[in-house]
Structure 1
């Protein structure tokens, strides 16, 4: 038998379908495993039912509430859309699905889509209003950026089907905000000049006088691009990400025979569980 903990339970419960029944399991263990599987199925159905009830409640409350003031109607629509969006986000997180459907930002190749779903409003989606609200919040950070400066953080992400997204975040004493993402999936050559241009564009968008340093991973092309930034803007420092460097260090340690054997055994245990 191969597979995870669920198939092991099905094997011990003599539940046909995915695995062969265990001929040696005791009746007590078989009964316990069947109870565990039944409880899991019941919990799964209950979760789906509650999600459907929430959806129906939100739509029903919207349809039975009418206002003469169009501006107030828009405000209610936006709140409803926000609730549906948050519910969708939680649903995605529970199922560990990639978030690539909705976050490319103003510098990406395409904007957010299909986040809120088929809402009851004629306008369907209120993401532009949320975007406008967030832009307004970012403007309130300008004084502290001018006074204390910011750090630009660059991080790449590779997903399914060779998708490559480069994220840019801005850190200040008021916290970190997402600036934009760039879809680099179809870029043929990601050399130092490519990364230099990306970083230079972000510096100009934020304001060179505000930027103190840029933090990236330690990849050769990114590193050279960071050095070009320092040459172009003498007051800006390029810094390698400490977490990335530690990750490389641990990977090198993991290549030692004695450590590699332990890691492989741990992987087998993890895959089984």
Structure 2
């Protein structure tokens, strides 16, 4: 459910939410015109002096130390801010570890070179020319191509993972998808299928998703599901081959399902937003007057 809030006046002129869409946290605050890095929480009206968007995240995530915790923020927003801060912290730690790896490899190779040079200095002066040649070869080993490539690839791979996770998170928060959707048994198989397509694959559009369902035999079907205290369950599907999906036909079909479930057990009827589905749903709602309709993609009885 989308919720929005606005703060009460505090004497300062408070602007609208800034148009900085790169960070989801901007959607939860107002900026104070003329005051750099100052924001106002949409939930508790607290004026956050300095620290920018990071300080706001700490406020909403209820992380003590730099700013007081928000007592009116929802659990979802709190969790979201905690995840964003966690990603920032992990990114810093990864960069630090990679920096330490590079420094460690450089120091280690330097020690090897110094030992080799000492050993070479003990050789006969008659081998000066050969010594110079050997020393030149040692400089090539100082930073081998393989070592540098591994570090570079590791850094790029982790950066790509972070970018992918942030892109997913931004869509998730913007679309208000509930977090428990990740528990679906189809969640991980979906990602496996997407990644197997490789670069360039485009997800289904709005029109693709709202189109009618077809089974493996390419027969158009309408699925009926019910939601009850025990969860969602499949009720039945109807093969609509040869049927005209006008309001009259759909009304009769829906009416049969309502009677099968029991009129007293139906509190909401959710259906496709196509015109014929709309008309059938309104007729059904007017006929029984005991439940209300809602227009979305699938057909569900609750």
Please, what TM-score do these two structures have when normalized by structure 1? 0.31
Q: Between the two structures, name the one with larger relative contact order (CA 8 Å, sep ≥ 6).
A: 1
Between Structure 1 and Structure 2, whose CA radius of gyration is higher? Answer: 2
Please, what TM-score do these two structures have when normalized by structure 2? 0.28
